[in-house]
Structure 1
Amino acid sequence: MRVIILLAVVAIVASAPQKPADQVIAILKQEFDQQADGSYVYSYETENGIKADETGTLKKASGPDSNDVIVAQGAFSYTAPDGTVISLNYVADDENGFKPEGAHLPTPPPIPPAIQKALDYLATLPPPPPSRS
């Protein structure tokens, strides 16, 4: 019974608001321009240092359907709780999806030389014959 009461108290405490909700962050600058073809440009900046901008341009789709697509390219930045400025640049399109770039993003470890040698060898082999399935 004590465990149930303790878990109930912990759940109530965890669900309580962690910060006062009365803190309002002002928007210092905001711009938005949308064209009839669907292309757009927007940007904003807040008093706590958040900045963002994006441009969307219309292009022909690379896939089999002939619909036009919007390619988005932009960036945003903010200050992390430890004081580090986090900046991210990105491009999003129908060919490569969302491609972010930023110094804070994790990177994969280098490929070990033996594995790279095996991959290079496999790349020189002819393609396998078609299957009968």
Structure 2
Amino acid sequence: MKFIIAFACLLAVACANEDAGVLRNDAEVNVDSFKYALKLDNSVDVEQQGEQNGDTWVVKGQQAWTSPEGVPVSIQYVADQNGYQVLAANPPLPTSPPIPEAIQRSLEWIAAHPSKE
């Protein structure tokens, strides 16, 4: 369900620009699978496909657009039982800062001394 919400948000942002014309709009929705593609003339290009695998959904997709600064942006992702995972991004996604040493020591201590309950 989260992927539908994410797509709806992206689509709302893309369509908020009233000057954008639709170049491609394909959709196929089945009980256990779906796929769609949307391409607008303002550089927005979205494709996503998903299929039900047992009780879980496996969704793969990509999104591309040009930022207001003129920089091309693209993301490829997969969402499955392991959650949402970015496979590739341009520009690269920022990395998390390192865990402070005191917190890392605390995490190691907690792992070495599990609760007795």
Q: Does 1:76 align with 2:63?
A: yes
C-alpha root-mean-square deviation of aligned residues, in Å?
Answer: 2.8
Q: TM-score, normalised by structure 1?
A: 0.58
Question: What does residue 112 of structure 1 align with?
Answer: 100
Higher strand share: 2
Cα distance, 1:22 vs. partner? 9.5
Structure 1 pair 34–23 and aligned structure 2 pair: CA distance change class (3 A): closer
The percent of aligned pairs where both chains have the same amino acid is: 31
Greater Rg by CA: 1
Structure 1: gaps (5+ residues) = 1-20, 62-68
2: CA distance between counterparts of 1:39 and 1:45?
21
Q: Which amino acid aligns with 2:24?
A: K
Q: Does 1:85 align with 2:72?
A: yes
Q: Is the 8 A contact 1:78 1:86 kept in 2?
A: yes
Q: Which amino acid aligns with 1:108?
A: S
Structure 1 pair 98–120 and aligned structure 2 pair: CA distance change class (3 A): same
Partner secondary structure for residue 28 of structure 1: strand
Question: What does residue 38 of structure 2 align with?
Answer: 44
Q: Which amino acid aligns with 2:20?
A: I
1: CA distance between counterparts of 2:115 and 2:110?
11
Cα distance, 1:70 vs. partner? 2.8
Question: What does residue 129 of structure 1 align with?
Answer: 116
Q: 1:33 aligns with which of 5, 28, 41?
A: 28
Displacement over 6 Å in runs of 4+: none
Q: TM-score, normalised by structure 2?
A: 0.64
Structure 2: gaps (5+ residues) = 1-15
1: CA distance between counterparts of 2:17 and 2:48?
29
1: CA distance between counterparts of 2:65 and 2:102?
41
